[in-house]
Amino acid sequence: MAALGDLLALLAAWEPGHAVLKPLLMPLLAAYVWTRRGPRLLLAALLFGWGGDTLLLFDAEPAFLAGMGSFAAGHVCYLVLFKRYGDTGRYAGPGGGSSRARGAALVAAYALALLGTVALLWPDLPGDMRGPVAGYSLLLTAMALGATTLGATAAAGGGLFLLSDTLIATGVADWPQLPRPDFAIMLTYLAAQYLLTRAVLREAVPRESGDHRRTGTGPPVTGADKATAAARATTTRRAGA
C-alpha cells in the first residue's frame, strides 16, 4: 500500500506525499525480512537503500553523492549474499551445457552494457560527477551480474536495479527524459528491491533454519540411519506413544 501510494503521488506530482511515503518503503520491506528471520546482510542492504532513498529527496549534489554511497554499500551487501547463497551452476543449461561458457557470456554481456552506458553518458556528465558515476556503475553492474547466480527472480531484480539507476544517470547527464521519469525510476527500483529480497529469502531462510527437505541439501541417509530409525519406531510403539 505504501508503494502504491508513493507511485500515485509521483503520477499526481504530489511532492509532500512522495516525501512522506518514500522513506517508509525500505524499512517496511526490511521489517518483513525480519519477521521471516532473513539474513542480517539483507536487512543491511535494504536499510542502506533507505539511506539512499532519503538522501536523494534533497536536491543538492552532496546529498546525491552521499545517497550514491549508501546505495553502493547496499550493493556490497548484496554481492556478499550472492556469494554465500548463489550457485554458478545455474549457468549450465538443462542439456548439460558448459557452465563456464555461459558464465563467460554473461560477464561479457554485462561488461559490454557497462562500457557502452558509461561511454555514452561520459561527455554529458558534469566533470566532478564522472568518477563517482563510473565507479558506482561498475559496482552496480557487478551486483546485477552476481544476482544471476540466484536464478531468474534475482536476475530480473538486478536488471531492473541497473535500469532504474541508468535512468537516474541520464537525468544527471541532462538527456531528454520520459514523461514522469521519477515514476519510471521508482517503479523499476521498487520492483528490483522486492525481487532481490524475495530471491534471497527463498534461498537463505530454508538453509539457515536447517530445513534440508526444502533445499535438497543435507547428509545422505545411510543404512545405519534407517536401522536406527526403525529401532526408534519400535521403541516408540512399545512405549505406547
Nearest alpha-carbon partner for 77 in 186, 214, 204, 185: 204
Q: What is the pLDDT of residue 31?
A: 97
Q: Which of 130, 199, 133 is nearest to 166 (CA)?
A: 133
For residues 134 and 179, what is the distance between their CA atoms, to the nearest angstrom?
Answer: 26
Contact yes or no for 209/42 (Cβ under 8 A): no
C-alpha cell at 70: 549508501
State residue 198's pLDDT score. 97
Considering Cα of 109, then 196, then 81, then 66, what sign does the dihedral take? positive
pLDDT at 100: 73
Q: How confident is the model at residue 103, as a pLDDT?
A: 78
Find the angle CA(103)-CA(108)-CA(110) to the nearest 5 degrees. 95
As to burial, measured by CB atoms within 10 angstroms (0-12 exposed, 13-18 middle, 19+ buried), residue 24 is middle
Burial of 109 (0-12, 13-18, 19+ CB in 10 A): exposed
Question: How far apart, in whole angstroms, are the C-alpha atoms of residue 70 and residue 26?
Answer: 13
Give residue 13's region: left, alpha or beta (phi > 0; psi -120 to 50): left
Task: Record the pTM.
Answer: 0.81
Of all helices (H) and strands (E), which one includes residue 131?
helix 127-147
In angstroms, rounded to a whole number, what is the distance separating the alpha carbons of residues 32 and 42?
11
By CB atoms closer than 10 A (0-12, 13-18, 19+), residue 37 is exposed
Kindly report the CA angle at 155 between 133 and 202, in degrees rounded to 5?
A: 125
Which ranges of the chain have pLDDT less than 50?
92-96, 212-241
Provide the grid cell at 203: 534461498
The per-residue pLDDT for 102 is 77
The whole-number pLDDT of residue 211 equals 53
pLDDT (0 to 100) of residue 59 = 85
pLDDT at 217 (0 to 100): 42
